[in-house]
């Protein structure tokens, strides 16, 4: 069929449907003319509204990682074990809620779900802001607040699953890299800003809390300052984004991913990349404090997550050009070598170790985890597209149906892999809590070796089952 004939047969779309706040009924990003004239502009608008909403959701998810370290200083009588659980619980609830958000997000739509999932985060922040002002707040109440804050981590799965529908194959890696990478910066933002915010009386709503040394802090600032930001972001999403009708998918069509081998293989790989990123982000402050106590946690802890988040963007772009599987393998080799470096610089016996060597190697581990986060998310749509379109002729009804199913499944797999990997927030700190640091590190190195083998065998070697 000639290009002119295809153009003549293509249904004419109503330009009004692409305006902000509207539901889009026709979306063909793989059509070059549509993408140039309309699609790219609409997709870009939806992406750049999603990014800050996701960033602040990560702030809510990680707010306890810093807040918990200040509770004993202002009179809360919690044990170290109890404080550990306050930082770990958001990881459990975040990962679990991600599984739900993965499938619910595409059913509701990008615009509505971004607005709703953003505005609900106000509840745990308000509760936290009031609770930290009273040292008599029961521990059970604090656990409940921490669990609700974990829901912020779930927004990632719905955001990336929805945004992926807006972009053509050749730009999915870059788009998800931007969304995920800049969204991940919320980890660094909360670790960098919270120590500053809690010392500001200008921003305080309510009374300050006295520390043992006589200084005053305002722990409620860590929560209250983000409430107006969430309100604005929810409104911008509601009035500025779009819902794609083509992306509206019932669970019955998404659940097929649990029968797909590549869903489980890519979950394994993403646990290695994002699970490492979020787990190391949660654990690094405590590792610095306990292993090199002479060095400031506030000065250094935020740098690794920031580097990893920005590297995610680079990983998506590079994977679009070189192939996702090759870049994923590079990331696992890099993480393994980085952790071997960390082990080398740890204190051992009379050797005091080297903080700067330890920290630089940890920065390298964050960098390679970020690269792998971007490349694995580029792999997923490529794998499912090639699997579904194999042997079909472009332009036929069967091809169109297969392409739509590939988009549905890749979006669901993107969200599901992110959900399982989020448990790294809990399990990596738990590994450091229950095993010697060196033993835990060698365990991670062995895991990265297994991920390298999986990525090479199924996706990178000559004759691989699903080149990506």
The model's pLDDT over 276-296, given as tens digits with 9 standing for 90+, comes to 999 898 888 878 878 898 888
pLDDT, residue 178, reads 85
Instruction: For residues 429 and 290, give the distance between their C-alpha atoms in angstroms, rounded to a whole number.
Output: 13
Please state, in angstroms and as integers, the Cα–Cα distance from residue 127 to each residue in 26, 134, 149, 462, following that order: 42, 12, 10, 55
Confidence of residue 407 (pLDDT cuts 50, 70, 90): confident
Cβ-based neighbours of 221, under 8 Å, separated by 6 or more: 197, 198, 200, 203, 204, 205
| 308 touches 276 (CB < 8 A) | no
Domain boundaries, the chain: 13-248, 250-468
H/E segment holding residue 23:
strand 23-24
Which region holds residue 395: left if phi is over 0, alpha if psi is between -120 and 50, else beta?
Answer: left
Q: Do 250-468 and 13-248 have the same topology in CATH?
A: yes
- β-pairing, 243-244 vs 23-24, is parallel
Residue found under tokens 């509207």: 22
pLDDT, residue 248, reads 66
**Whether residue 159 has pLDDT greater than 50:** yes
Confidence of residue 13 (pLDDT cuts 50, 70, 90): low
- Class in CATH terms, 250-468: mainly alpha
Instruction: For residues 363 and 461, give the distance between their C-alpha atoms in angstroms, rounded to a whole number.
Output: 29
In terms of pTM, does the model score above 0.85? Answer: no
Confidence of residue 106 (pLDDT cuts 50, 70, 90): confident
Kindly state which CATH superfamily the domain 13-248 is placed in: MFS general substrate transporter like domains (1.20.1250.20)
Confidence of residue 5 (pLDDT cuts 50, 70, 90): very low
Hey, which residues does 351 pair with through a beta bridge?
A: 348
Query: Token digits for 392?
Result: 């079909």
Q: Lowest mean pLDDT: which of 287-291, 399-403, 457-461?
A: 287-291
Beta strands in 189-339 (DSSP E): 209-210, 216-217, 243-244
350-392 pLDDT tens trace: 888 999 999 999 999 999 999 999 899 889 989 998 899 988 8
**How many C-beta neighbours within 10 Å does residue 348 have?**
11
């Amino acid at each position: 069929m000639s290009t002119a004939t295809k153009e003549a047969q293509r249904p004419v779309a109503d330009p009004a449907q692409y305006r902000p706040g509207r539901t889009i009924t026709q979306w063909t990003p793989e059509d070059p003319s549509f993408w140039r004239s309309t699609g790219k502009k609409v997709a870009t608008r939806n992406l750049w509204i999603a990014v800050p909403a996701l960033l602040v959701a990560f702030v809510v998810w990680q707010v306890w990682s810093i807040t918990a370290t200040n509770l004993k200083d202002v009179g809360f009588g919690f044990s170290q074990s109890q404080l550990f659980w306050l930082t770990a619980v958001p990881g459990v609830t975040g990962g679990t809620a991600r599984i739900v958000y993965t499938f619910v997000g595409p059913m509701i739509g990008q615009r509505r779900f971004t607005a709703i999932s953003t505005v609900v985060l106000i509840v745990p922040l308000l509760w936290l802001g009031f609770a930290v002002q009273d040292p008599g707040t029961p521990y059970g109440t604090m656990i409940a607040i921490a669990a609700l804050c974990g829901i912020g981590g779930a927004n990632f799965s719905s955001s990336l699953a929805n945004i992926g529908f807006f972009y053509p194959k050749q730009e999915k890696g870059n788009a998800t890299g931007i969304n995920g990478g800049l969204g991940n910066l919320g980890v660094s933002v909360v670790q960098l800003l919270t120590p500053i915010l809690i010392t500001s009386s200008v921003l305080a709503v309510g009374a300050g809390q006295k520390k043992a040394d006589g200084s005053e802090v305002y722990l409620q600032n860590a929560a209250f300052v983000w409430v107006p930001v969430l309100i604005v972001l929810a409104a911008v999403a509601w009035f500025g984004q779009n819902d794609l009708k083509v992306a509206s998918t019932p669970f019955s069509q998404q659940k097929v991913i649990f029968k797909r081998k590549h869903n489980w293989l890519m979950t394994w790989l993403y646990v290695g990349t994002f699970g490492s990123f979020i787990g190391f982000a949660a654990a690094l402050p405590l590792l610095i404090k306990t292993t090199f106590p002479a060095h400031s946690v506030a000065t250094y802890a935020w740098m690794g997550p920031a580097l990893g988040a920005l590297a995610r963007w680079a990983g998506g772009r590079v994977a679009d050009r070189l192939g996702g599987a090759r870049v994923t393998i590079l990331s696992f080799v890099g993480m393994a070598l980085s952790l071997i470096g960390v082990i080398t610089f740890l204190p051992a016996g009379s050797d005091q170790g080297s903080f700067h060597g330890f920290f630089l190697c940890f920065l390298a581990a964050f960098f390679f985890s970020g690269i792998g986060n971007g490349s694995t998310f580029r792999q997923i749509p490529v794998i499912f597209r090639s699997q579904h379109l194999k042997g079909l002729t472009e332009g036929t009804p069967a091809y169109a149906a297969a392409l739509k199913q590939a988009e549905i499944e890749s979006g669901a797999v993107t969200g599901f892999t992110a959900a399982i990997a989020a448990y790294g927030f809990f399990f990596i700190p738990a590994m450091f809590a229950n095993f010697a640091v060196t033993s835990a590190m060698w365990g991670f190195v062995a895991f990265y070796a297994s991920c390298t083998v999986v990525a090479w065998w199924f996706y990178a070697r000559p004759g691989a089952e699903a080149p990506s």
